[in-house]
């Protein structure tokens, strides 16, 4: 891979990769570092890219692996608890909060509170717009598993949002 090709990939995908990693690790600075790691790995392993998927799918697969590696190293036993005890949307960078409308913020908080597999599928399928097959490739799952997890994830998200609406209407 030539330097210009890597630069083009970086320019095309670094923002969307960063946003994905940020939603996974919930730490702005760490997400920046991990985004750089994605492109370093892509450069080092470009010879393994076999064109069976899109470059975007390949990069997101690397981003997924980098995020999971980071979370496992950070706290191997408490990986799932990390998501539920981590920062909330109020702790995120000021520019992110300014750009979020109240409804988007509630949706984002509900997604963050989902179980890790549910969150991954919703981020990849509904937010990032990956196909069923691409999502399966990124997560190293079967398409049927993606469908099943997505179905349960959407139900869980709907329950969380319904509770929020009910709670909000009850106080007002």
Of the residues 86, 101, 131, which one is the last residue of a structural domain? 86
Please say whether the beta carbons of 113 and 87 come within 8 A.
no
Q: How many domains would you assign to the chain?
A: 2
Please say whether the beta carbons of 167 and 160 come within 8 A.
no
Are both 47 and 5 inside the same structural domain? yes
Are both 64 and 99 inside the same structural domain? no
Of the residues 43, 59, 86, which one is the last residue of a structural domain? 86
Query: What pLDDT, in 10s, does the model give residues 64-97?
Result: 999 988 887 765 334 333 333 444 444 444 454 4
Are both 24 and 82 inside the same structural domain? yes
Q: Could you tell me the pTM of the whole model?
A: 0.58
CATH number at residue 24: 1.10.1740.10
Are both 9 and 71 inside the same structural domain? yes
Per-residue pLDDT band at 46 (split at 50, 70, 90): confident
Span of 100-104, 115-119, 155-159 with lowest mean pLDDT = 100-104
Of the residues 51, 71, 86, which one is the last residue of a structural domain? 86
Cβ atoms within 10 Å of 108's Cβ, excluding its own: 17
CATH number at residue 161: 1.10.10.10
Are both 171 and 120 inside the same structural domain? yes
Are both 101 and 21 inside the same structural domain? no
Owning domain of residue 145: 92-172
* Gap between the Cα atoms of 24 and 26, Å rounded: 6
In degrees to the nearest 10, what's the CA dihedral of 141, 72, 152, 137?
-20
């Amino acid at each position: 891979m030539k330097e210009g090709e890597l630069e083009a990939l970086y320019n095309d995908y670094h923002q969307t990769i960063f946003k994905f990693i940020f939603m996974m690790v919930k730490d702005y600075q760490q997400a920046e570092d991990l985004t750089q790691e994605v492109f370093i790995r892509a450069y080092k392993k470009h010879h393994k890219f076999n064109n069976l998927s899109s470059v975007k799918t390949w990069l997101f697969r690397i981003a997924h692996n980098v995020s999971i590696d980071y979370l496992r190293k950070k706290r191997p036993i408490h990986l799932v608890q990390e998501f539920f005890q981590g920062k909330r949307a109020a702790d995120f960078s000021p520019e992110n909060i300014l750009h979020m409308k109240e409804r988007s913020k509630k949706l984002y908080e509900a997604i963050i509170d989902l179980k890790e597999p549910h969150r991954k599928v919703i981020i990849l399928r509904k937010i990032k717009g990956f196909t069923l097959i691409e999502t399966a490739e990124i997560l190293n799952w079967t398409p049927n598993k993606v469908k099943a997890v997505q179905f349960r994830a959407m139900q869980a998200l709907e329950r969380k949002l319904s509770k929020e609406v009910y709670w909000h209407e009850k106080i007002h």
